[in-house]
Amino acid sequence: MNHQITAIIKKDIRSITSNKRMFITLLIVPLVLTIFVPSVFILVFHFMPENNTELLELLELLPLSIQDGSTQRSIIKLILNYIMPIFFLLIPIMAASVMAAASFVGEKEKRTLETLLYCPLSLKQIFRSKVMASFFLSMFVSAVSFAAMLVVTEAEAYMTTNSFVLPDLKWLLIMLLVSPAISLIAITLIVRVSARAQSVEDAEQSAVFLILPILLLIVGQFTGVFLISSWILLAIGVLCGLLAALLLKKCMDNFKYETLLK
């Protein structure tokens, strides 16, 4: 990576972190999702009467791998390894969208893009550095959110069951494959609309469409249509990865001076 690309990446990340309003937007959703949601689930189940037959009947319907000795441990395992992975996918989408919108449309809105275009960098270099800045920040927010969720969930698991409940292989797939792939899809979607979007908010709204498939996954799992597995996540990850690569290529081809300055 050359110095020019590094300079743009640093500048883009700094512009987000120094903008309080945007930085708070970027932090609130991950904090609600990774700390508040699992805590509510765990505490609700903890304070439920232990001889709740309806709940026990429901747990018996789940695969044997989830059933783990005590009801409390099974529930925490279900929350950590089946419910949270899907909720977690919202984080890279949101972080990548906020960052990409600020990085592409924000520069256009504040009339700083033209100055950048007059510098001796190829459009490919500018495009690459902006995609990388959005991607790095999205991955950073995802990693911090994962760490926060793990600390809170494990602490709650220990307090309620006197033991830890470890994350399984699905988290590895999410962190290394699915999250990076959907971050890139979110970034390319924002870049695609950046030419016609008049404001950062306009661009951010386009990422809403990415949330719909995630909502379907959440609804599908809660209604018992399917249960997320490592294989499903691997398939989603590979598909999203291929789609991201294709979209990035197409986006780069449409990245032209004349379209950008419209």
Partner 1 sequence: MNAVTLNGLSKTYSNGKKAVDSVNICLSAGEVFGFLGPNGAGKTTTVKLLNGMLTPTEGSCTVFDINPAANPQKAHALSGVVTEHAQMYDAMTGMENLVFYGSLYGINPSESEERGKALLRELELTYAENQKLASYSTGMRQRLSLARALIHQPRILFLDEPTSGLDPESAQNVHRMIHRLASEHGITVFLCTHQLRYAQEICTRYGLMEEGRLLAEGTLDTLRLQICSGMTLKVKASRIPETLLCKNTAPGAFELQIQSEEEIPAIVRKIVEQGGDVYHISAELPSLEDIYFHLTGKEQTT
Binding stretches for partner 1 (CB under 8 A): 3-4, 7-8, 11, 14-15, 18-19, 110-112, 114-122, 257-258, 261
Closest contact distance (angstroms) between CB of 125 and partner 1 is 9
Question: Which is closer to partner 1, CB of 14 or CB of 250?
Answer: 14
Q: Whole-number minimum distance, CB 183 to partner 1, in Å?
A: 24
Smallest separation (angstroms) from partner 1 to the CB of 257? 5
Which string of b and e fits 12-49 if b means at least 16 CB within 10 Å? bbebbeeeeebeeebeebbeebbbebbbebbeebeeee
Q: Whole-number minimum distance, CB 194 to partner 1, in Å?
A: 17
CB nearer to partner 1: pick between 4 and 206: 4
C-alpha radius of gyration, the chain, whole number: 21
* Token output for 216: 């379907």
> Residue 173 or residue 260: which is nearer to partner 1 going by CB?
260
Q: Which is nearer to partner 1, 109 or 204 (CB)?
A: 109
Contact 245, 239 (CB under 8 A): no
Q: Cβ closer to partner 1: 38 or 106?
A: 106
CA atoms of 172 and 113, how far apart (whole Å):
37
CB of 260 to partner 1, least distance (A): 9
Q: For 97-131, b where at least 16 C-beta lie within 10 A, e where not — what string?
A: bbbbbbbbbbbbbeeebeeeeeeebeeebbbbbbb
